[in-house]
Homo-oligomer: A and B are copies of this chain.
């Protein structure tokens, strides 16, 4: 394909006229398609339906230590759930505590706790003049919303194919005691699908923070969410931190939201004994305990980590063709056109698209005009401001394959039209 930049104004104008015609046709259909959020599809939700019938009314519902899961108690979660989710994130059962239905909620509460009570006895962040977080970007909008909500200053760190720019992170973390945390989605990152390299993980583990209450918020959201048999490999961060003499450096968050049911899964935190004691101290005041019946339901259904991997292969069967459909359409329609690049991840929930500079907002608006909802442009950056206005997160999971094909075509039309306008205006 000839790069658009090499086309004459006349050629571009002719293309534009043709594309506009196509766009009006598709717009007339009055579609309502959603590629905005990482929501599992109906077909994926069906995979875990048997879980709802796991617990029988005649069951005893005792966990393996004999405690009745139906009653109060057992703040850390039932042992078998700690073992299962521990295996999911490669730690032992005593390194993990089970929480409620949402890891985002646990991350929020962790920041909130640090604001009011500090970290392992440090000064509460709300008493400090300035608190900063590093935000590798593009990243997860809901992470950035949390730090923004608490008035924490966000510092954008560029992403590379091996993870965040570690030179910058090392420099900032070691020199600025106001920097208290960094948001990471280390495996199949949101939105790029990048997995941090071994070197990146090791450099994270070896950080020498100026602030004793600096922590890595390691959101291992997609730890077992592979699309292919050939998987990315992520080094286990807690062990690396331990080896590096930094045992308390990282919090590792996971959940089964995209394994069992979004909103009805279970979340967990893995960390050092000292950090977990800090979590427990707070939790012992905050609640009498989380939903142990749901923990038991999960363990009965998945049985063990092998059962979970088996289940994730079924998710991959549904998701993989969707990712490939988007990637193929992009390649076919704009491959080599020089108006956009995109990632081809081996797992996770997103494809990250980068348009020419200054086009993302217009592309998202254009697609919306024809009934396709994308994640808001800019959302993948702190404060919702993409300095280049080029990144767009594509979430292929929720639509049916037919809807997805149509939505991608509309997206591509929008990219082409906005890019041509941009080139014509230059």
Contacts and interface: CB of A to CB of B under 8 A. Distances in A.
Contacts of A150: 116
21 contacts: A37-B72, A45-B70, A50-B57, A52-B56, A52-B293, A70-B262, A70-B264, A71-B263, A72-B257, A72-B263, A101-B290, A104-B286, A104-B287, A109-B286, A112-B116, A115-B115, A115-B116, A116-B150, A117-B149, A149-B285, A263-B292
Contacts of A71: 39-40, 45, 261-263
Given A108-B285, A264-B293, A291-B291, 18 more contacts: A39-B71, A39-B72, A45-B70, A52-B57, A52-B59, A53-B55, A70-B262, A71-B261, A72-B257, A100-B101, A101-B287, A102-B287, A104-B287, A117-B149, A142-B288, A261-B293, A262-B289, A264-B292
Nearest to A126: B126
Nearest to A54: B52
A52 to B, nearest CB: 5
A52 B50 contact: no
A402 to B, nearest CB: 19
Interface in A92-139: 100-102, 104-105, 108-109, 112, 115-117, 124, 126-127
Interface string A41-81: 01001000110110111110000000011111100000000
Contacts of A57: 49-50, 52-53
Given A285-B145, A288-B142, A293 B263 contact: yes
A196 B225 CA distance: 53
In the complex, the count of this chain's copies comes to 2
Contacts of A53: 53, 55-57
Contacts of A261: 70-71, 293
Contacts of A69: 263-264
A155 interface: no
A294 interface: yes
Interface residues of A, number: 55
A56 to B, nearest CB: 7
Contacts of A257: 72
A288 B104 contact: yes
Nearest to A149: B285
A146 interface: yes
Contacts of A59: 52
Q: A37, A149, A257: which has the most chain B beta carbons within 10 Å?
A: A149
Given A112-B112, A264-B293, A286-B108, A52 B49 contact: no
A239 to B, nearest CB: 30
Interface string A255-289: 00100011110000000000000000010011111
A262 B287 CA distance: 11
Contact of A116 (B39, B45, B50, B116): B116
- The 7 A-B residue pairs with the shortest CB-CB distance in the complex, in nearest-first order: A49-B57, A264-B293, A126-B126, A108-B286, A105-B287, A72-B262, A45-B70
Contacts of A58: 49
A102 B292 CA distance: 12
Q: A49, A56, A73, A287: which has the most chain B beta carbons within 10 Å?
A: A287
